[in-house]
Amino acid sequence: MIEFKDVTKQFRGGVTAVDKFNLTIEKGEFVCFIGTSGSGKTTTMRMINRMVDITSGEITIDGKNIMKQDPVKLRRSIGYVIQSIGLMPHMTIKENIVLVPKLLKWDEERCDEIAKKMIRLAELPEDYLDRYPAELSGGQQQRIGVVRALAADQDIILMDEPFGALDPITREALQQLVKTLQEELGKTFVFVTHDMDEALKLATRIVIMSEGKIVQVGTPEEILTNPANEFVEDFIGKERLLESQRQTITVKEVMKESVISIDETSTLQAALRLMREKRVDSLMITNADGVLTGFLDIDDINTQYRKKTLVSDVMTTNIFAVNENKYLRDVMDRILKLGYKLIPVVSNERKLVGIITRSALVDVIYDSIWGDEEETTEAPSEAIEALKTDEKEQVNE
């Protein structure tokens, strides 16, 4: 989708910010530019939408040279999020969200629809659309800044250190929001950050830069397991490198394949019967092809049983799922820190193949801790069973 060909940017005085940069970014990727201050990461990203024009070389989007395009039209076709958010203080949240759609001459009805959709994606109440930016918290404003970049349905989203000024809790929540939106909507994200943990969490590929040049490009796993040189090792940090050695387990290795699900066309009565039979309080919902479409909780049935008939009428469709080939560390925080009881696991075709539960993580965490004990000879799983046996014997005694 985006291709850099020998791109160089020089500023006045002969200062070279970017030097013969070559990179291809595929559609649907989440690429993070990271490097030391002055490495050229922000300049490189800003050349994509011509906020900064190149000195030499070529940048193409879908095969078209950006220097031959109208810069205003180009920028309106690309979403852009900056650290200072950039919301217009005299405009309502709705007016801010539909700013670009209005410039693109969308009609009022379509703008209303997209504003409501975006506020839902931001996980904020719909009545916030009538508020002004000053009435929202910093984190809420940043959420609006993120979804505003998606409002005109642009295929490319640029983000320039958007969470740098936020507190850790708000920052983590927004990172999760951005990653979920990127995966669900299939947009191409180019993200600038100076935080390696942020890059490792969000990126499908990381571009490490120094003095305007690429030092290494790779997936988070490739960067962690095979750093190109001492500069990359120092930039990553020894603690992260050591920790990565313990986090190469995939979701597929620890998921439970026996997942209880029901077709979305089933009746609530059938769902309730299955819950009772399997002694569970929730069900995963799939369509006729086995594709995950939602989630059903006993409370959903309890409150809607006399009003609705089908599972599809009451199921929750906004559900997070993880690909079976992802590394476990990508979902560990969501389960442990955010209180998720379980997470559905899907194939590349988004077919339901299993679930990850909190209990499934016990052995993994135990293995990590147990691995530090050099004097221990028992395997972690054997040790756990031994502890369980000891407990039973103590009770019997």
Residue 390 confidence (pLDDT): 40
Q: What is the mean pLDDT of residues 115-132?
A: 90
Residue 309 confidence (pLDDT): 83
**How is residue 33 written in tokens?**
């530019």
H or E segment to which residue 191 belongs: strand 188-193
pLDDT band at residue 49, thresholds of 50, 70 and 90? Answer: very high
Among candidate residues 321, 318, 262, the one with its CA nearest the CA of residue 290: 262
Residue 59 confidence (pLDDT): 97
Instruction: Report the distance separating Cα 79 and Cα 147, nearest Å.
Output: 9
Q: What is the mean pLDDT of residues 226-230?
A: 89
Q: Is the pLDDT of residue 389 over 50?
A: no
Task: Write phi, then psi, for 299 (nearest 5 degrees).
Answer: -65, -35
* Higher-confidence position of 117 and 239: 117
Percentage of residues of the chain with pLDDT beyond 70: 85
β-pairing, 322-323 with 156-160? unpaired
Q: Is the pLDDT of residue 102 over 60?
A: yes
Select the highest-mean-pLDDT range: 136-150, 203-217, 231-245, 269-283: 203-217
Contact call for residues 117 and 153 (beta carbons, < 8 A): no
Residue 386 confidence (pLDDT): 43
Residue 367 confidence (pLDDT): 57
Instruction: Report the distance separating Cα 153 and Cα 114, nearest Å.
Output: 9
Residue 1 confidence (pLDDT): 87
Identify the burial level of 100 via C-beta atoms within 10 angstroms of its C-beta, where 0-12 means exposed, 13-18 middle and 19 or more buried.
buried
Residue 97 confidence (pLDDT): 92
DSSP-based three-state secondary structure for 171: helix
Helix, strand, coil tally for the chain in percent (to 5): 45, 25, 35
H or E segment to which residue 377 belongs: none
* Higher-confidence position of 165 and 344: 344
Among candidate residues 16, 359, 61, the one with its CA nearest the CA of residue 188: 61
| Count of all residues that appear for the chain in the document | 397
Q: Is the pLDDT of residue 334 over 90?
A: no
Instruction: Report the distance separating Cα 16 and Cα 211, nearest Å.
Output: 8
Q: Which residue has the tokens 């983590």?
A: 172
pLDDT band at residue 385, thresholds of 50, 70 and 90? Answer: very low
* Higher-confidence position of 157 and 396: 157
Residue 303 confidence (pLDDT): 77
Contact call for residues 353 and 279 (beta carbons, < 8 A): no
Instruction: Report the distance separating Cα 229 and Cα 214, nearest Å.
Output: 12
Q: Is the pLDDT of residue 384 over 60?
A: no
Residue 374 confidence (pLDDT): 43
**How is residue 341 written in tokens?**
């009881």
pLDDT tens profile 55-90: 999 999 999 999 999 999 999 889 888 776 678 999
- The mean predicted confidence, pLDDT, of the chain is 83
pLDDT tens profile 264-282: 999 988 998 999 999 988 8
Among candidate residues 243, 246, 242, 274, the one with its CA nearest the CA of residue 260: 274
Percentage of residues of the chain with pLDDT beyond 90: 40
Residue 234 confidence (pLDDT): 87
Establish how many alpha carbons lie within 13 A of residue 31's alpha carbon, considering only the half-sphere containing its beta carbon: 26
**How is residue 358 written in tokens?**
């909190």
Q: What is the mean pLDDT of residues 87-110?
A: 91
Q: Is the pLDDT of residue 396 over 60?
A: no
Contact call for residues 217 and 205 (beta carbons, < 8 A): yes
Q: Is the pLDDT of residue 164 over 50?
A: yes
Select the highest-mean-pLDDT range: 79-88, 143-152, 204-213, 374-383: 204-213
Residue 397 confidence (pLDDT): 32
pLDDT band at residue 165, thresholds of 50, 70 and 90? Answer: low
Which range is least confidently modeled, 93-97, 147-151, 243-247, 277-281? 243-247
pLDDT band at residue 6, thresholds of 50, 70 and 90? Answer: very high
